[in-house]
Amino acid sequence: MATGDSMESRVFGVFENTGVELTDVARSLADSFGGAMVFLDAVQSTPSHRFSYLCLALHGIIRYGIGGCGVDGVAQATDFFATLERRVVSRPSTDLPAFLKDAGFAKASLLTGGLVGFMGYGVCRETVAKSRRLSRGDRSNTHGSGGRDGVSDSVAPDAWMARPAVILCKDSVTGNIALSLDAQVCAIPDAMTLVMTTLRNAYTRRDSSRHRASSLPAAGGLDRDACMPREANRDGGRVPPGRPASACRGCAQQRGADSLEPDLPEGWHADMTRDEYCRAVEYVKAQEREGNAYVVNLTQRIHGPRCDDPWRAYLRLRTITPAPYSAYLEYGNGVALCCSSMERFLMIRDGKAVTSPIKGTSARGENPESDAASRDALMHSAKDRAELLMVVDLERNDMSRLCLPESITVPALARVETYSTLHQLVCDVMGTLAGPTVAGAVRLLRDMFPGGSVTGAPKESAMRIIDHVERSPRGAYTGCLGYLADGGDADFGIVIRTMECDACECRLGVGGGITHESDPRSEYDEMVLKSRAVIEAFLPRRRTPDGAGDAVSDAARRAGTGLEKHKGGETHGSGRGE
């Protein structure tokens, strides 16, 4: 391992050829550095998204909700986005040490400092929407499908962002791991030793069957308390698995509510039954016939039993349905987000921005011939292409507010990307900011949030319809999760295929785009298809024959591949969908 000082207060290290995955060490290191973690997991890497980040020793916690914005519990006079801008270093970072470059880590591809976390759908109170009921207010609806009133049962804020003092970055191509430590927050010698020891132990466990000694340097005794952030981490503690459900505030969901059975497993239920969902689709179509919108993203929440170990469930989720914007976020009050997202919300590199909306989904086939037919049908679907075109036009408009007008480009109107469970229709919209600055990046985030693929078009009108017809707040769902780096780079995925876990229950948001051509029953079936792989990861596990641990069920394998008869079949790109 090589180490060095650079970039103000940060200390760097690099571990080469470790054979260790960040998932091998994430839980242990998170517990050692305060309990909270943000894991941005490129489990299915792409050329532009090949790095995974494990972010620890989180401090400077920004929380946003109806009560406003606070940092480490102190109320802020500024709004959420202004607070973001103030908490990120505005000037680009200085150059990286040479040994990091030699190991394959370039400045443009390495997160060395900034903010990590999520912005939930409720943040739209500060962007385009002026709704009375965007996050935790009145949930009544009057479209005739029998809505229930109530309050949000989520203990999560509408947004949660923090600065990590410890960042481990894994390159999926080389296998090298870079380490970045903030000397102003961590006791560097002890923190460095702790990380080295944990990696060495993980390497030894992986290699135990070959009886090889670790190539990582040995470490001496540790003072783990010295590795904790010097600034109090007010959100760091995790709620023990035995915490009673009554300890969670809210939890107003009716446990005896109608379920989607037989489409959902026992113990899981949704905001709307099949018939109610179909009536909601008809309501949206009626609004579109009246000219109030062209496309509306209709969603609902599916509720299930609490999960005692969200981290283990996440590990199953990333195995069943790997995705480039997979992520795990855990912080105080026992709240965790387990995300397997395929959709990019916004990536900024040196002032160049790209968003990749998706519209249109088709299931994988049972054999190569039927799979190719499903893919071809999606590519030539007039309904799905029209839906994508409307969202692309919306995103071009949003991006043009801060990007140079002549820089807005759409390389190809539509392409099909194949994911493990389904095919999706995708398009890239690109633009260039006037300058690669934090202010420009934050303003672009504000102008584009929430993503057009999860609202509809026109955006404000679609959001008013959403606000009226959906029965419960979206929470983190359809927001974004990722990082805003010092200097202005950013990478956020849209929060879809994501289970929100707290001490009370699990919640999964799911839905799809509705146009005047949508068939209500087909829309319902597509919504169920999208939910299956995520729910499967949270079902009770059967034991392996030796009793050593979990085994992924046959149903999980079917949900995760969709191609049992030719598992080696080629996949293209990342795939995306709600």
Residues forming the active site: 343, 359
- Helix, strand, coil percentages (3-state) for the chain, rounded to 5, are 30, 25, 45
CB 311 within 8 A of CB 327: no
CA-CA distance, 258 to 269, in Å (whole number)? Answer: 7
Output DSSP code: residue 553: -
CA-CA distance, 220 to 212, in Å (whole number)? Answer: 20
The two structure tokens encoding residue 235: 């959100």
**DSSP β-ladder status, 505-514 and 295-305:** antiparallel
CA-CA distance, 95 to 158, in Å (whole number)? Answer: 35
CB 229 within 8 A of CB 55: no
Q: What is the DSSP string of 234-274?
A: TT-PPPPTT--GGGSS-----TT----TTSS-TT-EESS-H
CA-CA distance, 87 to 161, in Å (whole number)? Answer: 10
CA-CA distance, 37 to 31, in Å (whole number)? Answer: 9
Q: Max CA-CA distance within the chain?
A: 71
CA-CA distance, 403 to 85, in Å (whole number)? Answer: 18
The two structure tokens encoding residue 13: 């290290």
């927001």: which residue's tokens?
Answer: 479
| CA atoms in the 13 A half-sphere facing the CB of 297 | 30
CA distances from 407 to 347, 388, 396, 430 (A): 15, 21, 10, 7
The b/e string for 140-159 (b: 16+ C-beta within 10 A; e otherwise) is ebebebebeebebbbbbbbb
CA-CA distance, 123 to 450, in Å (whole number)? Answer: 8
CA distances from 259 to 139, 263, 267 (A): 19, 9, 9
Please tell me whether the peptide bond between 92 and the residue prior to it is cis, using omega within 30 degrees of 0: no
CA-CA distance, 328 to 118, in Å (whole number)? Answer: 11
